[in-house]
């Protein structure tokens, strides 16, 4: 059974990712404090207010992605913590590749189709007054064979993002979840240190000297939130601390944060995500707000919106901005506001269709595959249980015959 509060949190985080890519593209100054020593010129007066951490936390895509990783770790191990049944881990491992990769691969083909049709408009950025960072994509043609390779191998196993930039997270989600299942199969829930060391070893062997290690640790950190923790008394403090960590930027507001080799934002966002999810789990009042209808609906299409929004921005959004500014003569703020609202509507409608026709079927396929592959193991476990029960009956029979009286072990003793 899904936790609606976490589903709502996931939906808000997914919307935050879409907002971050849209706002940073349309109003580049809003990203000025997100990287150290940045000097992006301010274009509009209101940007000096919108850039403050109290607002930017809601369009900080890095924080939103950290929340995804923490939620994955928690959700993927919850049933194992409840049952201790290792078959839960094996089933989860079987489901993970088709569950993640089938929808991601469709998003790759979606982007490839737009690119092949000449519908990508991020090459218009130099004349639009938009951020320059999306300009570097979608310039080189990609063959269909190469698109297939990227979809099923490049993105999920190698972290390649040429056709859909946000897919850099899929490799972390896939490998991180498989490592998580393996680590808990080794250490179980009662030896978290052993499980963590096994997990860390697998992560380091595949991500040596890579900052993605922090994202992998976020996944394991999320799993630890399944442990019995009585955090209700400090839940509001956890939520506040989580939002402070999630709002980290390189402004003077965070001058108290120690230097971490340029990775301060990554570490603070990850810590903030763990604290926020822990606070939500321990705070029924806050959880009830997140479990309301709108956030839960967004949560239902969160993965889909994450997958489709970038190709839509690079085609529809920049193309519409070009028409509004250079063809119709609208000023940048008016044109950007129209693009922002229309793109959000487009992404949500596309995500709803994608969820119904791609994501949901992929989820069912993954579950059916796991059931088919796990059926022999389930039958073997049942046979073992029956054999054990028969063995108990036979031992009871021997003891009864040796004492001269036999009673069926399932019956009450009679006088």
DSSP 41: P
- How far apart, in whole angstroms, are the C-alpha atoms of residue 52 and residue 327? 34
Residue pointed to by tokens 């604290």: 275
Q: Where are the domains of the chain?
A: 4-403
Task: Extract the tokens encoding 399.
Answer: 């003891």
Contacts of 408 (CB under 8 A, 6+ apart): none
- Specify the higher pLDDT residue, 363 or 396: 363
81-139 pLDDT per residue, tens: 999 999 999 999 999 999 999 999 999 999 999 999 999 999 999 889 887 788 889 98
Q: Is residue 33 exposed (0-12), middle (13-18) or buried (19+ Cβ within 10 Å)?
A: buried
DSSP 259: P
This model's pTM is above 0.85: yes
CB count, 10 Å around CB of 392?
Answer: 11
- Mean pLDDT computed over 283-297: 97
201-217 pLDDT per residue, tens: 999 999 876 789 999 99
Task: Extract the tokens encoding 264.
Answer: 């301060």
- How far apart, in whole angstroms, are the C-alpha atoms of residue 223 and residue 293? 26
Task: Extract the tokens encoding 125.
Answer: 């950025």
Helices 235-246, 264-282: axis angle to 10 degrees equals: 150
Length of the chain measured in residues: 415
């Amino acid at each position: 059974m899904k936790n609606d509060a976490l589903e709502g949190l996931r939906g808000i985080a997914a919307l935050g990712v879409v907002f971050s890519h849209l706002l940073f593209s349309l109003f580049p100054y809003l990203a000025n404090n997100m990287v150290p020593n940045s000097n992006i010129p301010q274009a509009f007066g209101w940007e000096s207010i919108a850039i403050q951490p109290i607002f930017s936390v809601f369009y900080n895509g890095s924080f939103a992605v950290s929340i995804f990783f923490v939620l994955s770790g928690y959700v993927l191990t919850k049933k194992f913590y409840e049952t201790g049944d290792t078959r839960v881990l094996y089933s989860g491992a079987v489901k993970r590749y088709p569950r993640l990769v089938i929808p991601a691969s469709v998003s790759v083909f979606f982007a490839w189709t737009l690119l092949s049709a000449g519908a990508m408009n991020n090459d218009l950025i130099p004349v639009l007054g938009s951020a320059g960072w999306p300009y570097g994509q979608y310039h080189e043609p990609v063959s269909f064979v190469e698109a297939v390779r990227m979809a099923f191998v490049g993105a999920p196993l190698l972290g390649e993002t040429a056709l859909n930039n946000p897919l850099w997270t899929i490799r972390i989600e896939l490998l991180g979840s498989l490592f998580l299942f393996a680590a808990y199969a080794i250490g179980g829930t009662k030896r978290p240190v052993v499980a963590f060391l096994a997990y860390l070893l697998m992560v380091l062997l595949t991500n040596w000297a890579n900052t993605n290690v922090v994202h992998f640790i976020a996944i394991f950190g999320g799993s630890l939130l399944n442990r019995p923790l009585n955090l209700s008394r400090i839940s509001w403090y956890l939520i506040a601390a989580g939002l402070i960590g999630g709002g980290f930027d390189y402004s003077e507001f965070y001058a108290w944060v120690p230097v971490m080799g340029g990775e301060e934002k990554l570490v603070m966002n990850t810590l903030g995500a763990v604290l926020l999810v822990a606070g939500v789990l321990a705070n029924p009042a806050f959880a009830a707000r997140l479990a309301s209808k709108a956030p839960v609906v967004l949560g239902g299409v969160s993965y889909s919106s994450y997958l489709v929004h970038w190709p839509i921005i690079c085609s529809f959004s920049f193309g519409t901005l070009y028409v509004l500014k250079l063809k119709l003569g609208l000023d940048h703020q008016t044109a950007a506001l129209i693009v922002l609202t229309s793109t959000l509507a487009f992404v949500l409608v596309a995500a709803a269709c994608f969820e119904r026709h791609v994501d949901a079927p992929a989820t069912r396929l993954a579950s059916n595959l796991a059931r088919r592959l796990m059926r022999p193991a389930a039958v073997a476990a049942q046979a073992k249980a029956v054999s054990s029960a028969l063995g108990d009956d036979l031992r009871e029979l021997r003891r009864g015959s040796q004492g001269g009286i036999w009673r069926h072990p399932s019956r009450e003793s009679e006088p």
